[in-house]
Amino acid sequence: MHELAVTQRVLEIALRHAQTADAIRITRIHLVVGQLATIVDDSVQFYWDLIAQDTIAQGAQLTFERRPATMRCLACGETFTLSGQSDFRCPHCGDPDVVVAGGDELQIDHIEIETAELAAP
């Protein structure tokens, strides 16, 4: 259910930036989602289709780029990418004392818009 709040925030950010750029329409929003982010693409898309209605973002395509999770070992300093394993031990030294170094993000990478200049024949 948290996808609704996330989607609402994405819409707010997109509309704010589109307004600053004098957009008449938002055509695409490219989202970067880390492997550890608990975001379901289909849920975000579902909510997007509902809440973007009657805004300049209605009909905008959402694209999702998944980024792998990276961990850093506190024992040896090694940074490694999780590749589906459920054991988060450092593959270099075997220590379980690791922290997330990346892959928990959800961010808007870029927004594609139309302006009145682009829409004019």
**What are the φ and ψ backbone dihedral angles of 90, each rounded to 5 degrees?**
-65, 125
DSSP of 60-94:
PEEEEEEE--EEEETTT--EEE--S-S----TTT-
Q: What pTM does this model have?
A: 0.82
| pLDDT for res 2 | 86
* Domain range enclosing 86: 69-102
Please tell me whether residues 5 and 52 are part of one structural domain. yes
Please tell me whether residues 36 and 18 are part of one structural domain. yes
| pLDDT for res 46 | 96
Tell me which residues of the chain have a pLDDT lower than 50: none
Please tell me whether residues 12 and 63 are part of one structural domain. yes
Please tell me whether residues 74 and 108 are part of one structural domain. no
Q: What tens digit of pLDDT does each residue of 62-83 get?
A: 999 999 999 999 999 999 998 7
C-alpha–C-alpha distance, residues 80 and 71, integer Å: 5
| pLDDT for res 84 | 67
The domain tally of the chain equals: 2
| pLDDT for res 120 | 54
C-alpha–C-alpha distance, residues 46 and 25, integer Å: 20
